[in-house]
Chain A
Amino acid sequence: DAGVTQSPTHLIKTRGQQVTLRCSPKSGHDTVSWYQQALGQGPQFIFQYYEEEERQRGNFPDRFSGHQFPNYSSELNVNALLLGDSALYLCASSYPGQPYNEQFFGPGTRLTVL
C-alpha cells in the first residue's frame, strides 16, 4: 500500500517564476492538505481540498492556489515566487469521518527560490 507520494523531490526556481507541486494521497483517502515548512519551523497549513473544492484555507496569499483531480490527487501552484517561498512543502492525506483529524504526510518537495 503506497503512502502519500509527492513530486518532484527538489526544485530550484528564480524569483518571479511559477511552480507546480504534485501529490498523490494514500490509498483510500480523498482529502488532501498542503503545508509549508520553513527551515527550522513547524509546518503551516496552506489549504485543504475535498471533492475537488478548497474546503479551508490558512493565512497564505492568493499567489498560492491548488487543485484536486477526480482521482483525489492534488497540485499546489505558487505564482510570482519570492525568496521567502523557499521551504519544504508537505502534502498530507486523510479521509472524512475520522474521530480525530489524523493526516498522513508525504516526504515533501524542497523548493529553493534564488
Chain B
Amino acid sequence: GDSVTQMEGPVTLSEEAFLTINCTYTATGYPSLFWYVQYPGEGLQLLLKATKADDKGSNKGFEATYRKETTSFHLEKGSVQVSDSAVYFCALSDRGDDKIIFGKGTRLHILP
C-alpha cells in the first residue's frame, strides 16, 4: 500500500541554519503531497502542498518540490528561526482516496 518515509528526528539546528528534512513516498497512483506542521499543544496545520510532478510548494520560507522520478518531497528552509521548532509531517493523498497517509514525523529543535 501507499506509504511515507521521512527522516527520523530529533533534528537540532542553530538559528539561521539551513534545514532539510527528507521525505520519500510509495504510491500506486499519482498522489498529492503535503507537509504538515504541529506546534507544541496545537493541531496539525498544512504548511505546503504540491499536486503534480515538478510543482514546488512554498510557505513561510519553507519549500518542497514534487520529484516523481525519485519519489521524494524534501522540505527545505534557508534560514530557520526558533519559532520553527515543531514536529513536521510529510504526507500524501492518492487521487480519489479520502484518507491522508502520514509519515512518522520529524521533531525539529532550533537553538537561539
Q: Which residues of A contact B (CB under 8 A)?
A: 4, 31, 33, 35, 40-45, 48, 55-56, 58, 90, 92, 99-108
Contacts and interface: CB of A to CB of B under 8 A. Distances in A.
A47 to B, nearest CB: 9
A104 B45 CA distance: 7
Contacts, number: 59
B51 A107 contact: no
Interface residues of B, number: 23
B103 A42 contact: yes
23 contacts: A35-B100, A42-B4, A42-B103, A42-B104, A43-B100, A43-B102, A45-B99, A45-B100, A55-B98, A56-B98, A56-B99, A58-B99, A90-B43, A92-B44, A99-B51, A100-B32, A100-B51, A100-B93, A101-B100, A105-B45, A106-B43, A107-B42, A107-B43
